[in-house]
Amino acid sequence: MSFSIGRLTVDVVSDGEFRLDGGAMFGMVPRERWEKWCPPDDRHRIRLATHGLLVRGEGFTLVIEPGISGDVDRDLFAVTKVPTLEESLAGFGVAPEDVTDVILTHAHFDHAGGGHRFPNARTILQELEWKAMCSPGLLHNRSYRPEDRPSAESLHLVSGEAEPLPGVVLRLTGGHTPGHQIVVLEDQALFWGDLMPTVHHLSPPRFMAYDLTPATVAKMKQSLLAESAEKGWLNFLYHELDPTPRRIEAEGRRFRFS
């Protein structure tokens, strides 16, 4: 599935599936509801995708979210690595050395873990996220892995809104993590990161137990849903099993996928 978005060619790539506790993924939502959307396995885990993006523009080859660490507890997280991100990129004729830029929405292991696979790429993330990654504090200690830190040579920090590549705009949202950011492509598409991990997290109050500041997640989501509906953006969701991007419609103060 290739999408022509302004000057950019955008493809959904994958680093395979993994699983997380269903209750943790749905925060305050009662199990009676979420288990109908995402049936848990016998260890109470639900299936999640790692659907990052390959974005090609004039003079650059960008990967948004370089995938999941290969050396996490594969049994606990049921990491499949089918396909690996390298295999997925190869399907589009892209080798790891060809990648010039990597964007991390945030630095948790299921998003930032694969960055070292791209020897020539700079790694773009928010300065606040880099600080959080280096001194995670008590709550996120296990989600930030020292092994996932970009090398000093590849590190490219931004603060707040930035356009590190033509047509690729980063916006700091916070909420899920201190330096979480989303990516807007040519003012026509939105990569949500963990602000909306799956289609079942559309409603602003549906947050994850992993979100550091749920009120910020809800507020940011409400305003981005409104902007996305108004501008007719294509929406890409990293953890959603079905990689098809969707559009959002407003229905009064509420939103739905169209």
Residue 101, interface with Zn ion (CB under 5 A)?
no
Q: Provide, rounded to whole angstroms, the least separation between the CB of residue 127 and Zn ion.
A: 20
Residue 129, interface with Zn ion (CB under 5 A)?
no
- Residue indicated by tokens 């009676």: 32
Apex CA 240: angle with CA 101 and CA 58, to 5°?
25
Region of 8-16, 19-27, 117-125, 192-200 interacting with Zn ion (CB under 5 A) = 192-200
Residue 110, interface with Zn ion (CB under 5 A)?
yes
Residue 194, interface with Zn ion (CB under 5 A)?
yes
Closer CB to Zn ion, residue 61 or residue 143?
Answer: 143
**Cβ atoms within 10 Å of 175's Cβ, excluding its own:** 23
**Cβ atoms within 10 Å of 94's Cβ, excluding its own:** 18
Q: Provide, rounded to whole angstroms, the least separation between the CB of residue 188 and Zn ion.
A: 24
Closer CB to Zn ion, residue 148 or residue 194?
Answer: 194
Q: Of all helices (H) and strands (E), which one includes residue 254?
A: strand 254-257
Q: Provide, rounded to whole angstroms, the least separation between the CB of residue 93 and Zn ion.
A: 28
Closer CB to Zn ion, residue 106 or residue 116?
Answer: 106
Beta-bridge partners for 86: none
Amino acid sitting at position 197: P
Q: Provide, rounded to whole angstroms, the least separation between the CB of residue 110 and Zn ion.
A: 5
Q: Provide, rounded to whole angstroms, the least separation between the CB of residue 48 and Zn ion.
A: 8
First to last CA, the chain: 19
Closer CB to Zn ion, residue 101 or residue 194?
Answer: 194
Instruction: Check if the beta carbon of residue 47 is closer than 8 Å to that of residue 35.
Output: no
- Helix, strand, coil shares, percent, the chain, to 5: 25, 30, 45
Shortest CA distance to 115 belongs to which of 93, 146, 139? 146
Shortest CA distance to 53 belongs to which of 238, 240, 257? 238
Residue 148, interface with Zn ion (CB under 5 A)?
no
Q: Provide, rounded to whole angstroms, the least separation between the CB of residue 197 and Zn ion.
A: 6
Region of 57-65, 68-76, 82-90, 190-198 interacting with Zn ion (CB under 5 A) = 190-198
Region of 1-9, 107-115, 151-159, 240-248 interacting with Zn ion (CB under 5 A) = 107-115
Binding site for Zn ion (CB under 5 A): 110, 194
